[in-house]
Structures are given as C-alpha cells and as structure tokens.
Amino acid sequence: MQPSFFDHQDRLAPLEQLGDSLPKLERTVDWETFRVLLGSVYKNSDPSKSGHPPYDAVLMFSALVLQHLFNLSDDQTEFQIRDRYSFCRFLGLSPEGKVPDTKTVWVYPERLKERGLVDKLFSELLIQIDAAGFSARKGQIADAVIVPVPRRHNTREENRQIKAGDSPEAARRMLKPTGL
C-alpha cells in the first residue's frame, strides 16, 4: 500500500483520545519562557570544535521533562524518543528527525546542574502546570526484556521420585546449576 501524505498525522490523531497526556502538557506549558534560563547552557561551548551543533535548549529541556515524568534512564530516554510517536510529537521532532543520543541526554542535565538551573526550571514548570489547574504525576514505562533462562531436564524417574517425595537427592540435583 502506498503511504499518503497524511498517514503520520492520521496515526497521531487518536493518541490523545487513547490516553496520551503529552499534548495537554504541551498546550499547558509556555515552553518558550524557559529559553531565557536555558540560554546559558551552551554559552561555554566552543563552536570551533567539530561535531553536531547543540540541540535546541528547549527541546533538550522537554526531553528532560519526559525523562523525569516517565522515570527513564538516559538509554531509555533515547530509545523511547526514537520509538514513540507521542514523544516525537511532544518534542516537535518528525519521525525522520535527528534524536539526541544517550550521551547528549546524560550531559544536558549535568550542564543544568553546573549552572544551578534544575530547581529553577522545574519550579517554573510546576507553577505553570498548577496555574492551569493540573498536577504532574510521575509514571513509569516498563520495558520488557527477553532473556534466556536455564533449562533443567530431569529423567522421568527423577520426576517421579520428586513428586513422591522419596528422594531428597533428586531434588538437590535439580537445584545444582547445569552449566547452560
């Protein structure tokens, strides 16, 4: 099937009806008010150094808010931004847009801490959220991980002995690691 120009927008439209609270947060907070406080974050950056130019300071603060609200590690923050349409929309990133990597996600709050901005920024954020009549509650994204588990194979006789409770020796052998 040929993708259309509106496929992405059509996919995003029902998310808020299904429980995505990020559009409400995006509409509630005046993110540009943070730009003044965030202006100093990249002041000491050396533009002559090669590498990717810094991400927009408000985008990085918004990513930090997502990390805080959803209780994400730096690695999971990068992963969730890449994986979730709702996170990309909240950050103003297109699906093909450049996403801050784990190291960038880690460094940004460190720069904020060095400048004593974390408390000021989050206080202002909470003031805006409270003024709109909302409260911010932290959540958590549970990441499922598939891991190998050791397999233990007993003979039929050992299973019979274990079920009968006849031989504690068979039960002890079951508890020994099999080396898998």
Which DSSP state fits 29? S
What average pLDDT is seen over the chain?
Answer: 78
Structural contact between residues 78 and 99, judged by C-beta atoms closer than 8 angstroms:
yes
> Does the predicted TM-score (pTM) go above 0.85?
no
In sequence order, the 6+-apart residues with CB closer than 8 A to the CB of 176 are: none
Q: According to the model, what pLDDT value does residue 105 have?
A: 94
- Per the model's pLDDT, the better-predicted residue between 86 and 134 turns out to be 86
Per-residue CA distances from 120 to 18, 38, 133 (Å): 33, 10, 20
Burial class from Cβ neighbours inside 10 Å (0-12, 13-18, 19+) for residue 1 reads: exposed
Structural contact between residues 141 and 72, judged by C-beta atoms closer than 8 angstroms:
yes
Q: According to the model, what pLDDT value does residue 180 have?
A: 47
The candidate with the shortest Cα–Cα distance to 72, out of 29, 109, 122, is 109
Which DSSP state fits 144? P
- Per the model's pLDDT, the better-predicted residue between 180 and 4 turns out to be 4
pLDDT tens digit string along 33-73? 999 989 888 765 555 666 667 889 999 999 999 999 889 99
Q: According to the model, what pLDDT value does residue 31 have?
A: 94
What is the spatial distance between Cα 125 and Cα 54, in angstroms, rounded to a whole number?
A: 23
pLDDT tens digit string along 71-100? 999 999 999 999 988 899 899 998 788 999
User: Which tokens sit at 78?
Assistant: 């990068």
Least confident of 10-24, 81-95, 119-133: 10-24
- Per the model's pLDDT, the better-predicted residue between 180 and 162 turns out to be 162
Q: According to the model, what pLDDT value does residue 170 have?
A: 47
